[in-house]
Structure 1
Amino acid sequence: MNPSTLRRLLPVAILLAGLATFLLLGLERYFSFEMLARHKATLTAWVAAHQVLAAFGFMLAYAFMVAFSLPIAILATPVGGFLFGTWAGAGLSVLGATAGSIAVFLAARYAFRDLFRERAGARLARFEAGFHHNDFSYLLFLRLVPVFPFWLINIVPALLGMRLRRYVPATMLGIAPAAVVYASVGSGLGMVLKRGEQPDLGIIFEGRILVPLLGLAALSLVPVIYGRLRRKRGA
């Protein structure tokens, strides 16, 4: 393997090494609602005394979780709601998650974009052209529907040549509704933990939450449908 290839793969290798280290050392046992219940008094007191530092630290920690695709990221937004309240917790979560997503996006584009184009050839070129017409809408749709793996949605737009300046706002808008839902769950986390219970993170799939999300996802595809209709009429 030549030096230029090694340089391209280095960012991805670092992210994968971080994930592997986390899993091999079993560090996930230190990040749970049980651990939060044990230390919540100390944590909330520290956050109250150092609000700006706590907010920055939370965003940075969230960015690392997403960048390294750690399997604890789903816990972070409820914790943000618990520590900072629904709206501040959701906002900090969106900023942190977006920063981590950018790291994965850039690493994937730098490492695999050219190789992916070479292997896929003309078929990718046609698909890529269609994606570029409405890449913002497509990514917004994928972010809003809560069934697609978050790490995968970070990578696919990079391989398809999406611009970072479009990737960032689509990501922020797409993850914001779910962030508000999970942060609102976290805002009542203190009482849940006091009763010795676990928060319901499956709330996102309840009809009262899922249906509006799917409605927003459908609306995000309106520009795609409109564009296709215009092209058919102009043909």
Structure 2
Amino acid sequence: MSRGKIVLLVVLAAMIAAFFIFDLGRFFNLEYIKSQQVALSAFYQDNTLLTVGGYFAVYLLVTALSLPGAAIMTLLGGAIFGLLWGTVIISFASSIGATLAFLVSRFLLRDSIQQKFGSNLASFNKGIEQEGAFYLFTLRLVPAVPFFVINLVMGLTPIKVRTFYWVSQLGMFAGTIVFVNAGTQLAQIDSLSGILSPGLIASFVLLGAFPLLAKKGVALVKGKKQSV
């Protein structure tokens, strides 16, 4: 491992360790943000740019380091900024943070994984090159798949950075709206599990799978025409 990778790994490990050593997770739970909602909203009214900048930076850090708390941060954004601005701010913060996590995974792990398992991953890599955008879009729309896992795994694939970014932003947009809208009613929320119903999750899955299924269907029809 190169010196640059070692330095980055040490810095990231130290930041993640600090999160747990100092129990910073206590600030990323539903009860805490509900208790602080009024104070944070008042601070936002008096310090708009500072609040937006600080919130954006924390959201970016949480997602880039794959720390627990993105869902809570999204609810908090809805409570403070409202549906419109909350959606805009969080859409960019989550997409940029996810891309940073993706890049970290690619920089630290991709070469070693490809060297050790390159022959086994050849067909998978080819599939990602051909269907990567559609596949990623489907994953982004399925709330059951942890977003940090998608970020780290996709960093090991050949998918282009710009493709990862715009597909992630598009694919996460619907879920972002749902959570931001729930955050505007933060006082009425008792648990995160109540935000996404099974029917809503199924709708996301169908929406995400449709482009991939449509492309497969077109390819199948073309194949049959050529064989006639």
TM-score by length of 2: 0.89
Which residue of the partner structure matches residue 46 of structure 1? 43
| 1:120 is aligned to 2:117 | yes
Which residue of the partner structure matches residue 211 of structure 2? 220
For the residue of structure 1 that corresponds to 2:155, the secondary structure is helix
**Unaligned stretches of 5+ in structure 2?**
none
Summarize deviations over 1:11-67 as a string: whole Å, max 9, x none.
344333322221122121233333333333321111012223322222211111111
* 2:157 partner amino acid: L
C-alpha contact 1:105 1:158 (8 A) present in aligned 2: yes
C-alpha contact 2:141 2:171 (8 A) present in aligned 1: yes
Correspondent of 2:168 among 166, 171, 182: 171
Which residue of the partner structure matches residue 71 of structure 1? 68
Summarize deviations over 1:167-187 as a string: whole Å, max 9, x none.
001110111111111111110
Aligned sequence identity (%): 27
C-alpha contact 2:105 2:156 (8 A) present in aligned 1: yes
Q: Shift in Å at residue 230 of structure 1?
A: 6.2
Which residue of the partner structure matches residue 190 of structure 2? 199
Instruction: Go from structure 1 to structure 2 and tell me whether the alpha carbon gap of 1:203 and 1:34 turns closer, same or farther (over 3 Å shift).
Output: closer
**Unaligned stretches of 5+ in structure 1?**
193-197
Which residue of the partner structure matches residue 229 of structure 1? 220
Superposition pairs of residues 1-235 of structure 1, within 5 angstroms: 5-189=2-186, 191-192=187-188, 198-222=189-213, 224-226=215-217, 228-229=219-220, 232-233=223-224
C-alpha contact 1:28 1:72 (8 A) present in aligned 2: yes
Q: Shift in Å at residue 10 of structure 1?
A: 3.4
Select between 75-84 and 111-120 the one with higher mean Cα deviation. Answer: 111-120
* 1:18 partner amino acid: M
Instruction: Go from structure 1 to structure 2 and tell me whether the alpha carbon gap of 1:79 and 1:158 turns closer, same or farther (over 3 Å shift).
Output: same
Q: Shift in Å at residue 232 of structure 1?
A: 4.3
For the residue of structure 2 that corresponds to 1:146, the secondary structure is coil
C-alpha contact 1:77 1:186 (8 A) present in aligned 2: yes
For the residue of structure 2 that corresponds to 1:85, the secondary structure is helix
* 2:99 partner amino acid: I
Select between 169-178 and 16-25 the one with higher mean Cα deviation. Answer: 16-25
List structure 1 runs of 4+ shifted beyond 6 angstroms: none
Q: Shift in Å at residue 204 of structure 1?
A: 4.6
Find the aligned partners of 1:151 and 1:13 in 2 and give their Cα distance: 20
C-alpha contact 2:59 2:97 (8 A) present in aligned 1: yes
C-alpha contact 2:78 2:87 (8 A) present in aligned 1: yes
Q: Shift in Å at residue 214 of structure 1?
A: 1.6
Q: Shift in Å at residue 111 of structure 1?
A: 1.4
Q: CA RMSD in A?
A: 2.1
TM-score by length of 1: 0.86
Select between 224-233 and 200-209 the one with higher mean Cα deviation. Answer: 224-233
Find the aligned partners of 1:224 and 1:204 in 2 and give their Cα distance: 32
* 1:90 partner amino acid: T
Instruction: Go from structure 1 to structure 2 and tell me whether the alpha carbon gap of 1:227 and 1:106 turns closer, same or farther (over 3 Å shift).
Output: farther
Q: Shift in Å at residue 231 of structure 1?
A: 7.4
